[in-house]
Structure 1
């Protein structure tokens, strides 16, 4: 089946919310996302409208979706721009112009079909094409027990950087940073 990989549009906030809530119900959501279903489902429409609008235009953040021929969304990935000296999603200040892939989700029925690969390619290409920021690398974090996700990331050229951060909540578990550099792309 052919999927259209594209950036979200500002008026698609309801679909963005629906896919995010579905992702947060995935069996690995507790180690894959920094948000819970309960917190996300309690957010009002204005939150989702603003989030979607911010991801649809500009060069600060982009959200990409995989759209099936019937119009349904089967996957998503978001990319955040990080600038040197500015705190990031993990509170560490960025040391270089880079982007950070977050919010990765592919519906279980299409996993292994290439949708995840295509979403990542779109996010990485967007990172290299930025005009205001010359991203030196694209990074992401993966939970130390999320082998399925780490396997995908390695296949796409991401490598462990040696940086780890503790999971929120004091569980003692770690998030592992992986990155692909511009020269590798």
Structure 2
């Protein structure tokens, strides 16, 4: 699937053979000044992963499997400007935080737009691709988690239509590390 946004950026799924670019984009995202608010891993942890991890990740999210799909925004010059990954969570299982998943839903992770490409509508286009993919797989809604101090990301997600669910997840005993769950209903 390829969609074009304004400014001629192509929005498309990654291909399994693009694992080195997937790795590089993730490492670049983890160097972003607000990465500590946006991602659950740090640069050193990701950089230490073997190539086989990145190869498996690209195959898993680049083949359109039933559980994960990674989308990128590709600039006219071929540079990868940003990414969004959509996961499918099944009703009846526990999520990564130990909460029950009550319905089939999309779960947005790994959101990143390179600073020089921000403000061009790419986040909306990437989310559109990810949500379309989730809806095609009969997801009833979608969710994501955002750090309570990450106001820029919260504003972007609300523009797309995500709203707070009221759930707050703490990743440590430090309340400053809390994440807010935002949800989007399919009919929204």
**TM-score normalised by structure 2 residue count:** 0.93
Tell me the equivalent position of 1:77: 84
RMSD: 1.0
Tell me the equivalent position of 1:27: 33
- 1:14 alignment partner, one of 15, 20, 27: 20
Tell me the equivalent position of 2:49: 43
CA distance in structure 2 between the partners assigned to 1:148 and 1:82 by the alignment: 26
CA distance in structure 2 between the partners assigned to 1:48 and 1:31 by the alignment: 23
CA distance in structure 2 between the partners assigned to 1:54 and 1:91 by the alignment: 23
CA distance in structure 2 between the partners assigned to 1:3 and 1:91 by the alignment: 38
- 2:170 is equivalent to residue 144 of structure 1: no
- 2:148 is equivalent to residue 157 of structure 1: no
Q: Report the secondary structure of 1:112's partner residue.
A: coil
Question: How far off is 1:24 after superposition?
Answer: 0.4
Tell me the equivalent position of 1:100: 107
- 2:9 alignment partner, one of 3, 9, 20: 3
Q: Aligned residue pairs: how many?
A: 180
Q: Report the secondary structure of 1:49's partner residue.
A: helix
- 2:119 is equivalent to residue 112 of structure 1: yes
CA distance in structure 1 between the partners assigned to 2:66 and 2:54 by the alignment: 19
- 2:172 is equivalent to residue 172 of structure 1: no
Deviating 4+ runs (over 3 angstroms)? none
Task: Please list every run of 5 or more consecutive structure 1 residues that lacks an aligned counterpart in the other structure.
Answer: none
CA distance in structure 1 between the partners assigned to 2:33 and 2:97 by the alignment: 23
- 2:187 is equivalent to residue 183 of structure 1: yes
**TM-score normalised by structure 1 residue count:** 0.94
